[in-house]
Amino acid sequence: MSVFLAILWKDLVTEWRSRDRITAMLLFSLLVVVIFHFSLPGGATRDTQATAPGLLWIAYVFSALLGLNRSFSLELENDALSGIALSPVDRGWIFLGKAASNTLILGAAQGVTALVFGLVFEVDLAAIALPLAGVVALGSVGICSVGTLFAAVAVRTRFREVMLPLLLLPLLVPVLLGAVRATAGLLETGALAFEPVQLLLVTDATYLIVSWLVFDFVLDE
């Protein structure tokens, strides 16, 4: 547990010092909003609000990919990852620490992105803020769980920027489905539908447990 907190603390402090990950993710998300506006036939406005949930989650996934890659490329400098691997604890805790910091950093970017989306698509975010935050959190846990696991893998391959999306996207379909449906439901009715949330919970639990169990093998040499 203390190792989990130590890694979480270290990642957050490192990120705070440079703020490069969060800046890149934010900038990227904002760019994506602009591009979406140009690629939608009617532009990004109230009229095309139905497309907003899907687009929002696309923006989230791609910005998560940026952040995930970076979280481990930092560990490769000076072989710091070995330093972490030396810790005399179950390596599942190491996974949890990294996944938690990734989720939090992604969460910060997601909050701002949601605001911008809300502005552009003229959604009344205040009314659905809390449940929306819940859905975003569940979705992020799903993305960052299996995402952290495979970021640790991808970053040590020859084609790391390409490898992570290729590995991750098919596995994220259940997360995306649940998250987009839940978000769309919220926008339409203001209430959370049970099924998407159930899907998210099942997927998150599965991915968290499996990642915890196999992370040891990923850190091994």
Partner 1 sequence: MPTATLAMPWIRRSLRTSGLILAALAIAWAVLVVRAPIDAMQGVIQKVLYVHVPCAFSAYAGFIGTALFSALYLWSNDERFDRFAAASAEVGVVFCTLVILTGPIWAKGTWGHWWAWDPRLTVTLLLWFVYLAYLLLRSFTEGSARTARFAAVYGIAGVLAIPLNYFAIDLFGGAAMHPDNLERGSLGAGMGWPFAVGVFTGLAAYAHLLLLRTDLESLRAEAIETGQPPGA
Partner 2 sequence: MSEPALRAVGLGKRFGRSVALAGLDLELPQGTSLAVLGPNGAGKSTLLRLIAGLARPTSGSLSVAGTPAHRPAARALVGFIGHASLLYSNLTARENLLFAARLQQVGEASLRVEQLLETSGLARVADLPIAGFSRGMAQRLSIARGLVHDPPLLLLDEPFTGLDPRAAAGLAARLASLREAGRTLVLVTHDPKRAAELADRAIVLAAGRVVFERQGIATGAADLERAVLAAGDAAT
Residues that bind partner 1 (CB under 8 A): 146, 149-150, 153, 156-159, 163, 166-167, 169-171, 173-174, 177-178, 181, 195-196, 199, 202-203, 206-207, 210, 214, 217-218, 220-221
Structure-token pair, residue 12: 């957050």
Q: What is the dihedral of CA 151, 10, 64, 181, to 10 degrees?
A: 110
Among 38, 79, 126, 159, binds partner 2 (CB under 8 A): 79
Structure-token pair, residue 109: 């970017």
The identity of residue 82, as a single letter, is: S
Among 38, 158, 159, 221, binds partner 2 (CB under 8 A): 221
> Helix, strand, coil proportions of the chain in percent (round to 5)?
85, 0, 15
For the bound state, the minimum distance from the C-beta of residue 34 to partner 1, rounded and expressed in Å, comes to: 29
Q: Can you tell me the distance from the alpha carbon of 209 to that of 113, in angstroms, rounded to the nearest whole number? A: 29
Q: Which does 166 bind (CB under 5 to 8 A by kind): partner 2, partner 1, none?
A: partner 1
Q: Does 40 bind partner 2 (CB under 8 A)?
A: no
Helix (H) or strand (E) holding 219: helix 194-219
What is the per-residue binding string for partner 2 in 9-38, x denoting contact by CB under 8 A?
A: xx--xx--xx--------------------
